[in-house]
Amino acid sequence: MGTKFRAAVITLFLSSLLLDQLVFSESNDGLIRIELKKFKLDENNRIAARLIPQLPDSPNDGVIVGLKNYQNMQYYGEISIGTPPQKFTVQFDTGSSNLWITSSKCYFSSACHSKSKYYARRSRTYKKTGTPARIGYGEDSISGRISQDNFVVGGLTIKNQVFVEATSLPDSEIYTNTKFDGILGLGFQEKSIRGVVPIWYNMMYQGLIQNRVFSFWLNRNTEEEEGGEVVFGWRPDSRHYMGDHTYVPVNRKGYWQFDMGDVTINGKHLGVTGLSAFPDSGCSLLLGPTIAITMLNHEIGVDREDNPKCKSIVRMHGQQILNMLLIKEKLEKICSLIGLGRVQGKKSNNERTFMSNICEMIVAWMEIQRRKNQTEDVILNYVDELCDSMPQNQQRQSTVNCLRISSMPIVSFLIGGRNFTLSPEEYVLKTIGGGCISGFRSLDIPHPIGYTWVLGAIFMGRYHTVFDYGGMRVGFADAA
């Protein structure tokens, strides 16, 4: 999911002027290291696909792939495809299970013009399938055809890897402004398109790595040469974390999803419990359900925006909703009982759906406060204020006063019995125009995933993250 640079568009990929030369060495711990050396490059220039050297065969206890960091919004690394190898940059994305690269046959999408492209006819190991493919990303999608070729990742050659040659990309700023040529998904096969085995699985199946684990370090200091790294097949690089990892079991294959506890703001519980979470290296922000994100952004003090439709429900029906909660009316029935529910068996118009969604959030907010034993007046006033912190457009960022950053609260996420904290300097992002926005953004994931926290680069940059396929668990430790 990370991408760009006008505050209005920082979401799907949200996350360079720098190009890296590769220097290979083997360390005493059995890891093959790929060190990155930077030099300046004109942003308007693109480097055509070029050769990448192949490392000699080794026991392959593990490999490290160096990452580039573009403005803490995009992290990407280098791979090669085919024989002779063609070089590309990809986003190593734990929030996806699919593998796609921009094709030489991507003619008509403006986003294709800024990408290095894969030329199937130039590779002796290319195998054609011709099967059409489509990968959806929210309202956008990429389309192309299924192909097969050899891939080199961190010096490992993965043979006969099936992937999507993308012949059409969305003509949106999100895709046009990304610094990478494709996505290398590191999620579970259960979430990949039919018939495509994720490259991470083939590393295991082809015996290229001995340990079924990989880890991420994302460097949040854009001034340093190293942008980050992915370690495949071995213990994490101890230079990049401190202390022990806190592990939690994966509760659902697809995403690296686990059960998470409550969120606290300066020790004050938000009251939103029972949700899952998953770390997503392809997302720049920290996402969550609108119900929770509105409360969180309200507590940290985002700039308010008048929301008359939400306020009208609170002022017209707030007391009635509270009365129903007191008699323990089922939450899902309350909006229908006051005439703001969804129309069963019929397709609701956009306005009706919008008002129903707001009503359901108001009911949830009131119930959370009622469980905290707040008085009726406090509940009604609090929810009325929440309305002005609720995002009326999911494409719009919640802004904050840059002068207030030092006085903003600490936000903590309870994972595996430990509170993982984020300071305001870590969760507030500064825009190119000099403004500041909250790194917390709403995303309501549909059934069957449902209400979920998405821990993007804001979180993974603060906490070194281990993805343990063998143990079916995820681990976090303080990044160093």
What DSSP string describes 207-250? T--SSSEEEEEE---TTSS--EEEEESS---GGGEEEEEEEEE-
DSSP state, 175? H
* 252: β partners: 257
Largest CA distance in the chain: 73
Q: Is 197 exposed, middle or buried (0-12, 13-18, 19+ CB in 10 A)?
A: middle
> Annotated catalytic, 140?
no
For residue 106 the two structure tokens come to 């991507």
* Coil/strand/helix, residue 468: strand
Phi, psi angle pair for 268, to nearest 5°: -90, 125
* Coil/strand/helix, residue 282: coil
For residue 336 the two structure tokens come to 């229908």
d(CA 450, CA 221): 33
d(CA 118, CA 129): 16
Distance of CA 323 to the CA centre of its chain: 40
Element (H or E) spanning 447, and its range?
Answer: none
How many other β-carbons are positioned within 10 Å of the β-carbon of residue 159?
Answer: 12
Residue 237 near residue 479, CB atoms below 8 Å = no
* Coil/strand/helix, residue 46: coil
> Annotated catalytic, 93?
yes
What DSSP string describes 87-118? EEEEEEETT---EEEEBTT--S-GGGGGS--B
Among 93, 149, 181, 468, the one annotated catalytic = 93
Nearest Cα to 73, choosing from 397, 295, 385?
397
d(CA 333, CA 223): 53
CA distances from 273 to 21, 248, 259, 328, 382 (A): 46, 16, 10, 19, 19
d(CA 90, CA 68): 10
Residue 282 near residue 91, CB atoms below 8 Å = yes
Among 237, 280, 388, 468, the one annotated catalytic = 280
Distance of CA 330 to the CA centre of its chain: 34
Which amino acids are annotated catalytic?
Answer: 93, 280
